[in-house]
Amino acid sequence: MARYRESACKLCRREGMKLFLKGDRCYTDKCAFERRGYPPGQHGQRRTKLTEYAIRLREKQKVKRIYGVLEKQFRRYFEKAERMKGVTGENLLRLLESRLDNVVYRLGFADSRNEARQLVSHGHFLLNGRKVDIPSILVKPGDVIELREKSRKNLKINASLEVVSRRGIPSWLELRKEEYKGIVKDYPKREEITIPIQEQLIVELYSK
């Protein structure tokens, strides 16, 4: 399966903002974006004016990188969002937020979405009592995500749960920390997705 395997910090620098792809490191002075906040490459420090198309493309690339989704899968999410009732851009973000790996990250079981994806792929979680290993599964209200009994002594997961208060848990999710369990209370609303995303630019890009 195709997957980006180069430096995650380059992606933040390319998009001109922190994407928090490396978890706790992004909050420290070791963050590469803090030290070199310009795009990577030989000509990264040049000032360039983006075209209207480039602005929309960069917004799409930013969202893909935040959620760790490749182009083909991202396009499928967009097409599904178009078929749903409501605003296409908001539907797209709701679908991305509802991915199991994102929910595991949001609940605090992992420092980053990449780490959450790996934990799910390795079978550390139960969804409604059943073992799952597919990060892209879409959760729905009422679903229960639970860390498997044998994984509850994992030091990395426990460390992540201790510092989850730094970023907070969205109101559409509930964490029962002592039980290593999370509950999906509702679908995420647009105002609850605080990442700086202009989803309308993505809709305009795909609509051309």
Task: Identify the sign of the CA torsion 90, 92, 93, 95.
Answer: positive
Q: Is there a domain that residue 121 lies in? A: yes
Query: Has residue 158 been placed in a domain?
Result: yes
pLDDT over threshold 90, residue 92: yes
Which of 59, 75, 164, 70 lies closest to 117, judged by CA?
70
Q: pTM to 2 decimals?
A: 0.80
Question: CA-CA distance, 201 to 79, in Å (whole number)?
Answer: 15
In a domain, 205, yes or no: no
Residue 76, in any domain of the structure: no
Q: How confident is the model at residue 35 (pLDDT cuts 50, 70, 90)?
A: low
Residue 93 within a domain: no
**Residue 163 or 104, more confident:** 104
- Residue 200 CB: number of other CB atoms within 10 A? 14
pLDDT digits (tens, 9 = 90+) for 130-150: 999 999 999 999 999 999 999
Residue 105: pLDDT above 80?
A: yes
Q: Is residue 203 part of a domain?
A: no
pLDDT above 60 for 52: yes
Query: Is 82 among the domain residues?
Result: no
- Whether residue 1 is contained in a domain is answered as no
Work out how many domains the chain is built from and give that number.
1
Find the domain containing 168 and state its range. 99-186
Please check the confidence at residue 27 and state whether its pLDDT lies above 80.
Answer: no
pLDDT number for residue 168: 85
Tell me the CATH number at 158.
Answer: 3.10.290.10
Structure confidence at residue 43 (pLDDT): 47
